[in-house]
Amino acid sequence: MIDPETVTIVGQPSHGTVTVNDNGAVTYTSTIGAAS
């Protein structure tokens, strides 16, 4: 399990966003129209 208090996002991806959820999960959300 990832400790969300120790995770640091140093840069966002080119075609979406990354967030660290309260439960420690890291979520990537693609921008609309970006290829998967």
Q: How much is the pLDDT for 25? A: 82
pLDDT in tens, 2-31: 677 787 778 888 888 888 888 878 889 998
Secondary structure of the chain as H, E, C letters: CCCCCCCCCCCCCCCEEEEECCCCCEEEEECCCCCC
CA distance linking residue 36 with residue 5, whole number of Å: 29
**In the chain, what are the domain boundaries?**
1-25
Place of tokens 């967030």: 19
pLDDT band at 34 (very low <50, low <70, confident <90, very high): low
Query: Are 28 and 10 within 8 A, CB to CB?
Result: no
